[in-house]
Structure 1
């Protein structure tokens, strides 16, 4: 059995309520809710694989409005005791997913301005979201393979939240098409 994970129901509107071979988990937004919900799910049942689908802001201008697989996750909203942004005092700076794709920077706020993007981009990420680092870290603790697939919903610039609200349904359709192509469900 596999586990299909999304942060928000809105990201799954194009999906049927049940997919053969998959349980479904909606965690809520942000790193804490993602960590809590995924930990509870993995503690309750063993899964062969976790497949995360969702939306993300593109902070690399070369990324267009399609679906991308995530290769690694970093955190953009942490600082270590030496003041180094992106470094946590006790968690790894980077969680690799063992895939080819785009690196994503996770933080507990919706990125929607050019100044924030200017700080995050040099950390090496091409996209931003609010959950992927947590999902990847929890999956590693349980030794469960994870795939994270993100559809570009916005450019993480001014008014990105308005763009996200407009784009989330179209992103869900793209993610659903990816699931059909990859898993046949």
Structure 2
């Protein structure tokens, strides 16, 4: 059995309620809710894989619209005891999933301004979200393989929150189409 994970129900709006071979988990937005919900699910169930689907802001102008498979995750909103941004005091700086093509930066705030985008890009982020790092860390603690697919919903610039609300349904349809293709292969 696989676990299909999203932060918000709206990110799964195009998905059927039942997909053979998958159980479904909606964690809620942000790192703490994501950590709590995924830890509970993995502690109570036996899964061959976690597949995370959801939306992300593109903070690199060279990122194309569509779905991106995440390779590396890091937290942009942490600072270590030496004052280095993007480095946690006790957590790994970066985690690698190994099969993707994009680095995503995770933080507890919805990114909606150019200054924050520049700061995150300086750390190496190309996409931004609020849960990917935590999903990856939790799955790795349980020894469960994880894949993360993110559909670009906005450019994380001024007005991104309104853009996200308008495009989340279309992103969900893209993600469901991608999963259907994999299921049919």
Cα distance in 1 between the residues matched to 2:83 and 2:183: 43
CA RMSD of aligned residues (A): 0.9
Alignment map for 1:1-185 (pairs within 5 Å): 1-184=1-184
The gaps in structure 2 that reach 5 residues or longer are none
Any idea what SS the aligned residue of 1:82 has?
coil
Cα distance in 2 between the residues matched to 1:160 and 1:116: 12
* Residues 68, 100 of structure 2: 8 Å contact kept: no
Cα distance in 2 between the residues matched to 1:131 and 1:90: 18
TM-score calculated relative to the size of structure 1: 0.98
Any idea what SS the aligned residue of 2:53 has?
strand
Cα distance in 1 between the residues matched to 2:143 and 2:38: 13
Q: Select between 92-101 and 24-33 the one with higher mean Cα deviation.
A: 92-101
> How far is the alpha carbon of 1:183 from its aligned partner?
2.5
> How far is the alpha carbon of 1:64 from its aligned partner?
2.0
Segments of 4+ moved more than 4 angstroms: none
Any idea what SS the aligned residue of 1:124 has?
coil
Cα distance in 1 between the residues matched to 2:32 and 2:82: 24
> How far is the alpha carbon of 1:100 from its aligned partner?
2.6
Cα distance in 1 between the residues matched to 2:100 and 2:44: 30
Cα distance in 1 between the residues matched to 2:63 and 2:152: 8
